[in-house]
Amino acid sequence: MSSLTKKVKTERYTTKVNGRVMKNDRPKNTHIPTYPIKDEKDIKKIYRYLELQIAYSKSTFEEFIAYRNYMLFMLGINTALRAEDLLQLKVKGVIKGRIDTTENKTKKDQHFMLNKKLFEEIKKYIDKFDLRLDDYLFASRKSGDDGFTKPITRQASHKIMKTIAEVVGINYSFGLHSLRKTFGYHYIKRNLNSADAWLTLSKMYNHSSPATTMMYICWDDKDYKAREEFFLDNESAIKRRKK
**Catalytic residue annotation:** 82, 105, 177, 180, 207, 216
CA angle centred on 8, ends 7 and 9, rounded to 5°: 90
SS3 label, residue 65? helix
> CA-CA distances (angstroms) from residue 164 to 4, 24, 77?
28, 36, 14
CB proximity list for 36: less than 8 A, separation 6 or greater: 178, 181, 182, 184, 185, 186, 217, 218
CA angle centred on 162, ends 159 and 163, rounded to 5°: 90
SS3 label, residue 19? coil
> CA 139 to CA 148: how far, in whole Å?
6
> How far from the centroid of its chain's Cα atoms is residue 126's Cα?
20
Handedness of CA 108, 111, 115, 120 (dihedral sign): positive
